Structure 1
Amino acid sequence: MCGIAGRFLLDRPADADAVGAVLRMLDAQVHRGPNDWGILIPETAAQSAAVRSLLESRGLEHVRTYPAAAGAPSVVLGARRLSIIDLSSRGRMPMGAAGGRLWVSFNGEIYNFRELRDELRKRGSIFESDTDTETILHGYEEWGPDVVSHLRGMFGFVVFDARRPDAPRLFLARDRFGIKPMYWARRDCTLHFASEVRALMAGGAMPNEPEPRAFHGFLVHGSVPGPWTTVRDVFSLPAAHTLTIDERSYSYPR
């Protein structure tokens, strides 16, 4: 079990407010990943004194950066890790490839990752860890969003794809049976996402208001009907779905 948290800012560069929010979201999910943590921010944000003051006390070795284009959407992507496969720091997330322009945070387990790793190596991928996380990363690099059709397991993951620096995109995915959670919300021009609703609440900017449809469903059927949650405007990514976001559109295919 690991924890994912982040903000994708479509209209402005990441700043201390966004970094601080994601740190709070990670703090709310320590129980999901007590062994390690990491955070990805734009190189420009790393140069900010306010951002550095937030991160220095926590350990700069946990910070990853990516080259961001001026005026392009930006991301702050975090992860809490429960180390199971490859216990070394090589498994730290977010994990990057493609010269620091492709990143993944992952919660779950990929049962066929060894077979996929062998196939991807034949296609030219170079692996630097023994994790199933890296299989998703290079799988996305090779197949794009269709990587989900190659995966056998339980998963919720987020890929940040900045290989086109002026038009980066975010890709969220959840396994076929919805074993691993993924929640998201859009407020103004920012997408918020996490493995738990309370992590989204810890990041702020979420309305602390109940969702009537969720409570109606619980009272009538004994469960909250997706994609709603008990918090207004916070949604669960349905099982066997993905969500792709860029500055132009949201794509929500099954």
Structure 2
Amino acid sequence: MCGIAGFSWQDEALAGRMTQTLAHRGPDQYGVYTDAWVSLGHRRLSIIDLREHGRQPMSNEDGTVWVTYNGEIYNFPELRQTLEAKGHVFRSRTDTEVIVHAYEEYGPACVEKFNGMFAFAIWDQNERELFLARDRLGIKPLYYYWNHAKFVFASEIKAILQVPEVEREVNPQAVYHYVGYEFVPAPDTMFRHVHKLPPGHYLRLKNGRITVQRYWDMTFRTEKRSPRDYAEQMRAILTESVRKRLISDVPLGVFLSGGLDSSTIVSLMSHCGVEPIKTFSLGYEDETFSELDYARVVAKQFNTEHRELIVEPVTPELIEKAVWQLDEPMTDLSSVPFYLICQRAREHVTVCLSGEGGDESLVGYDRFKASKAHATYALLPDWIRRGIVAPLVRTLPDQPQKKGAVNIIKRFIEGGLLPEEGGHMRWQYFGTPEHEAGLFAPSFHARMTMDPFAPIRAHLAHCQSASRLDREIYIDTKFTMPDSVLMKVDKMSMSHALEVRVPFLDHQFVEFCASIPGDLKLKGYTTKAIFRTAMEGILPDRIRGRGKQGYSFPIKNWLRHDLNDYMTDVLTSSPLMKEAFNFDYIQGLMQEHHAYQANHNHILWALINLAVWHRQFVEAG
């Protein structure tokens, strides 16, 4: 795993500064290539072929094609054999060189040959063309800046900001969507002039023009098979996905939450003959947020070399580190805990497998159940739901535990009040009409389009299925996962030079899951039903029957106690809070949260992260 950077002119010193900014992603080797038209930089984390042979940027035999690459191509041995048979000569054991020769052989269509996670840039000297590509699911990030004269790209925004011409200007529309979704939807970033290359897309820069092209999409097709056939094939495909992700010349382990997905990975690693399996788990003193007991069950069954981390209330210093590594605010409540568990794992391994992606493809989140339940609840007249039930539920005080009946009911009713076009994301969206009316300062409000679900409509325009559940899976996979879940995984792990591999996001497994009928994935209100069947006899029933919990931490309680002073200091001292927001409204939210009158942790945590980001990246610039 690595860090990449570059731009469309020659400046070796600038390429060096950009690349040095990414040193945490690749501490093992450093390289820069420049010519009259391009500069490419690279920081390497050595995983395969640890010697000098893997140094990047890397070229073909005659130096006319150069690549800087971040990721892993798991089918590179097979591709290498094919390319060697076509006459290509290899000088290393790396997958990087496969990308170079595949581009020579297939051109931009080379991306369709790769099975893996990747973000890379290729300079084709003969064509005077710069070619960038990002993997199908968005596991690896790739950002760019373009002002019609200069083009800049990198694995992280902080490297792009090394270029003096890049303005550090806040994107008001990104702020609006961030407050609601807790991340900035692609292709936007929190910087007005910096963009994300969307997953499953490539970009070509030639003759002073850029074009962005989609090369992969998720399609749904139902095949006529028995549930047993689906379960058996699912297990076989996932086992092969795990096996492919075991290739490494350095130690590897697995994150074990005790949930269904991570426990499955441990079981399949054991099936593939890995021993001892190094497992890493985290937990909290508040047992309603902790899963350690479940992780211990799995660790004992598969005799793993198990390590645990108890997360105390996070410090302001840790919050600031996490925001810096993320490049832009993204307030997934598991970000900081994941940062800590990656730090702990890196003391023992260089590669970790993790369970991200299973909840999207196999319907694991509570929001899928909420959407289904709301279809029945919506049969009640609107005047009863909005005029009687909602006001009554709002009077219930927030409870300190993670879920619980009261908290679940409150969240279900609140989500159901949002526009239906939001689909299941209504239960993952934390903006409200009240927030929109009271939160933003009038001058900032005027620079936004107040259309909360516009990004969802834009994505659904490409979904070929009319099924409600298929369309929800599509949104989770194409919209939420890349810019929230996977961004967190990449940035938090690479801040410690730890490579994370995600077997559930092998595109062949994702495509197979899209062929499974929806009622086998969400059976009644049982999430991942067919997957639970597939793991029967392999995982303990206690694990196989579990619901979703995740790594999220008790921030709502910490903001009322341990972090209350920090929250107040950060928000009251932030010029952005006073410029872009109605600060009296923010103070009201803090008071209500502290008094348990409401749970405003999502919006308050989002504002804290936004204020810290602004101080680090805009005010300090």
- TM-score (norm: length of structure 2): 0.34
Q: Give yes or no for the alignment of 1:220 onto 2:184.
A: no
Q: Is the 8 A contact 1:187 1:205 kept in 2?
A: no
Could you report, residue by residue, the CA deviation over 1:188-218 in whole angstroms, capped at 9, with x for unpaired residues?
Answer: 4110000000111123321011111211111
1:176: which partner in 2?
Answer: 136
SS of residue in 2 equivalent to 1:38: strand
2:13 aligns with 20
Residues 121-200 of structure 1 mapped to structure 2, 5 A cutoff: 121-164=84-127, 168-200=128-160
What is the match of residue 113 of structure 1?
76
What's the Cα RMSD here?
1.1
Q: Can you list the C-alpha shifts for 1:102-156, whole angstroms capped at 9, x where unaligned?
A: 0001000001000000000001110000000000010001001000000000000
Tell me which residue corresponds to 1:49: none
From the two aligned structures, give the one with the greater helix fraction: 2
Say whether the 8 Å CA contact 2:149–2:208 is kept in structure 1: no
Per-residue CA deviation, residues 150-206 of structure 1 (Å, 9 max, x unaligned), is 000000000000124xxx000000000100010000134110000000111123321
Within-5 A mapping of 1:77-96 = 77-96=40-59
Q: Is the 8 A contact 2:148 2:208 kept in 1?
A: no
Question: Residues of 2 paired with 1:224 and 1:202: CA distance?
Answer: 22
Instruction: Please state if 1:34 is matched with 2:27.
Output: yes
- Partner Cα separation in structure 2 for residue 6 and residue 188 of structure 1: 16
Encode CA deviations 1:44-92: one digit per residue, 9 max, x unaligned: xxxxxxxxxxxxxxxxxxxxxxxx5xxxxx0011110001010111110
Q: Partner residue of 1:237?
A: 197
Work out the CA distance in 1 between the residues paired with 2:208 and 2:143. Answer: 21
Question: Which structure: greater strand fraction?
Answer: 1
Q: Structure 1's 229 and 3: CA in aligned 2 closer, same or farther, altered over 3 A?
A: same
1:249 alignment partner in structure 2? 209
Q: Cα distance, 1:24 vs. partner?
A: 1.2
Shift of 1:248: 4.5
The AA in structure 2 aligned to 1:161 is D
Counterpart AA for 2:34: I
Give the Cα–Cα distance (whole angstroms) in 2 for the partners of residues 90 and 75 of structure 1: 23
The whole-number CA distance in structure 1 between the counterparts of 2:152 and 2:184 is: 21
User: Does residue 201 of structure 1 match 2:193?
Assistant: no
Provide the identity percentage.
Answer: 44
**Closer/same/farther in 2, CA of residues 76 and 162 from structure 1, 3 Å limit:** same
The one-letter code of the counterpart of 1:178 is G
Check conservation: 1:96, 1:103, Cα contact below 8 A: yes
Shift of 1:240: 0.2
| Partner residue, 1:71 | none
Matched position secondary structure for 1:172: strand
| 1: CA distance, partners of 2:12 / 2:121 | 17
Amino acid at match of 1:170: L
Q: 1:98 Cα shift? A: 4.5
Give the conservation status (yes or no) of the 8 Å contact 2:73–2:115: yes
Question: In the superposition, relative to structure 1, how do residues 195 and 205 fare at CA in structure 2: closer, same or farther (>3 Å)?
Answer: same
| Alpha-carbon distance between aligned partners in 2 of 1:212 and 1:20, rounded to the nearest angstrom | 33
Q: Which residue, 64, 67, 81 being the options, matches 1:104? A: 67
CA distance in 2, matches of 1:33, 1:187: 29
Q: Compare relative contact order (CA 8 Å, sep 6+) and give the higher one, 1 or 2.
A: 1
Q: Secondary structure at the match of 1:219?
A: helix
Structure with higher Rg: it is: 2
Whole-Å separation in 1 of the counterparts to 2:148 and 2:101: 32
Name the structure 1 match of 2:463. Answer: none
The count of corresponding residues between Structure 1 and Structure 2 is 214
